[in-house]
């Protein structure tokens, strides 16, 4: 910008005025020339771009490959975990709090080592067969990358080795067209996301939203180092008091502590999911979704889907051994509460990371088809009485690694729309 200062007085003022006039004239002339050159250049560039664009083919917009709103719409694509290279997690305080005393000697002996070889081979074969059956049912199956989980890693706060990529439900949650990576709470699972990143990047390139929740440091302050567990009675007492091995030092959650029903998601505070993690999810998904905290008479809450598994619109399996304290609000909403039968899994079958109630940890292929344990005849009959066809698969050895069909999968795409089912 040209600044002009007014000058006063005699011939000196006249000379100054003459000088300013000349300066203004040169400035205006230069500006006109530059503007003309700029306009001409812009016009030429525009002509060149137009010519180039004639040879450019615009990409055809694709439908987002990621879209799932609930647990029961027709399943089109799913991620199934891997048992390959799975290792027993080191026996740290958070692992001890989530496992049963009868298996503590197993963790003390094998922590940081592979699971028993023969058992693992059988689990791998079972999951391969499960994938084949899913494909036969018309579902596209994706798998995480095989990774060497034996490598020890060190952060400024802890040292650990890895575990596995067997349970995608624990680490990945799909809400609409968004994939959410859970931060996790076990140190042995800190880098588990690496097995899924190639898949997630491909979904992102094709239009999916991708969110990674804040990664906790997993410093000692996240865990109650003196968590007083000795008996099942201790666990019941602590859970009733709202005391867990994870503190509120920083947000943490496993995705498997959430279960979806359209615009409503239900979650429990557990040994791996704290209130800060739940609050992060609530703020992240608001205002389109509502988070409801529910609780159960459960001495060892970890992952909701073997306790409370929604299998259809207004239809839920509720574990009779772990009754929901808020069950009346579901009844008032008109939901049907189904209590599954007692599991048939033998007492001598090893379940290092879970309970027998994996029998209700089923995967809905749609409202009228369910993937269920081939050995659990009583729950098969229950589904048949509900008018739901059972697709029977045996994953008894895979169960030992900590999950049923729902745990071993994350549904990427279900054919349906976002609706409200809880009023």
Averaged confidence pLDDT in the chain: 89
Let me know the angle formed at the C-alpha of 239 by 256 and 93, rounded to the nearest 5 degrees. Answer: 70
* DSSP for residue 225: T
Strand extents, DSSP E, 73-196:
75-80, 140-142, 152-154, 159-161, 172-175, 178-181
The predicted structure's pLDDT at residue 345: 96
For the whole model, what pTM was predicted?
A: 0.85
With H, G, I as helix, E, B as strand and everything else as coil, classify residue 165.
strand
Residue 67 bridge partners (DSSP): 413
pLDDT at res. 22: 45
Beta bridge partners of 2: none
State mean pLDDT over 285-301: 96
The whole-number pLDDT of residue 243 equals 92
Flag whether pLDDT at 196 surpasses 60. Answer: yes
- pLDDT bucket at 367, cuts 50 / 70 / 90: very high
Tell me 266's DSSP state. Answer: E
Q: What is the pLDDT of residue 372?
A: 98
User: CB burial class (10 A; 0-12, 13-18, 19+) of residue 19?
Assistant: exposed
Q: Which residue has the tokens 């409200």?
A: 420
The larger pLDDT score, comparing residue 20 to residue 371, is at: 371
| pLDDT value of position 61 | 53
Grouping H, G, I as helix, E, B as strand and the rest as coil, residue 420 is strand
At residue 188, what are phi and psi to the nearest 5 degrees? -70, -10
Q: What is the CA radius of gyration of the chain?
A: 30
Q: pLDDT at position 48, please?
A: 52
CA distance 67 to 360: 25
Note the pLDDT tens digit of each residue in 332-362.
999 999 999 999 999 999 999 999 999 999 9
CB 300 within 8 A of CB 237: no
Mean pLDDT over residues 62-71, rounded? 94
The set of catalytic residues is 254, 303, 407
pLDDT at residue 231, rounded to an integer: 76
Residue 171 has pLDDT above 70, yes or no: yes
CA distances from 276 to 108, 247, 249, 283, 333 (A): 31, 9, 8, 11, 28
Helix (H, G, I), strand (E, B) or coil at 324: strand
* Cα 141 to Cα 73, 110, 312, distances in angstroms: 17, 32, 22
Please calculate the CA angle 64-305-337 and round it to the nearest 5 degrees.
Answer: 105
Contact 174, 208 (CB under 8 A): no
């Amino acid at each position: 910008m040209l600044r002009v200062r007014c000058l006063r007085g005699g011939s000196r003022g006249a000379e100054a005025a003459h000088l300013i006039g000349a300066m203004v004239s040169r400035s205006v002339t230069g500006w006109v020339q530059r503007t003309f050159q700029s306009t001409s250049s812009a016009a030429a560039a525009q002509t060149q771009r137009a010519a180039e664009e004639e040879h450019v083919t615009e990409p055809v917009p694709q439908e987002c490959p990621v879209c799932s709103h609930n647990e029961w719409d027709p399943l089109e694509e799913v991620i199934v975990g891997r048992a390959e290279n799975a290792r027993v997690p080191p026996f740290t305080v958070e692992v001890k709090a989530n496992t049963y005393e009868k298996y503590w000697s197993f963790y003390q002996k094998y922590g940081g080592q592979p699971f028993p070889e023969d058992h693992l081979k059988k689990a791998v074969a079972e999951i391969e067969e499960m994938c084949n059956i899913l494909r036969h049912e018309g579902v596209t199956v994706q798998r995480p990358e095989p990774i060497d989980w034996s490598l020890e890693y060190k952060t400024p706060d802890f040292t650990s080795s890895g575990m596995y990529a067997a349970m995608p439900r624990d680490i990945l949650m799909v809400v609409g067209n968004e994939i959410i990576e859970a931060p996790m709470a076990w140190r042995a699972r800190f880098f588990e996301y690496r097995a899924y990143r190639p898949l997630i990047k491909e979904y992102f390139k094709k239009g999916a939203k991708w969110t990674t929740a804040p990664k906790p440091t997993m410093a000692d302050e996240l865990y109650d180092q003196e968590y007083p567990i000795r008996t099942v009675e201790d666990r019941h007492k602590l859970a009733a008091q709202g005391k867990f091995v994870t503190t509120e030092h920083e947000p943490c959650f496993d995705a498997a502590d959430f279960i979806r029903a359209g615009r409503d998601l239900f979650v429990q505070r557990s040994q791996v999911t704290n209130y800060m993690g739940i609050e992060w999810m609530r703020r992240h998904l608001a205002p389109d979704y509502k988070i409801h905290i529910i609780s159960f008479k459960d001495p060892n809450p970890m992952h909701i889907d073997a306790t409370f598994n929604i299998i259809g619109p207004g239809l839920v399996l509720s574990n009779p051994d772990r009754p929901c304290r808020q069950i009346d609000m579901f009844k008032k909403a008109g939901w049907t509460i189904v209590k599954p039968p007692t599991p048939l899994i033998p007492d001598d079958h090893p379940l290092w990371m879970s309970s027998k109630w994996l029998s209700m940890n089923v995967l809905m292929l749609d409202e009228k088809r369910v993937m269920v344990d081939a050995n659990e005849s009583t729950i098969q009959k229950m589904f048949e009485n509900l008018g739901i066809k059972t697709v029977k698969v045996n994953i008894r050895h895979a169960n030992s690694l900590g999950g049923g069909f729902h745990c071993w999968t994350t549904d990427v795409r279900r054919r349906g729309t976002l609706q409200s089912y809880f009023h």
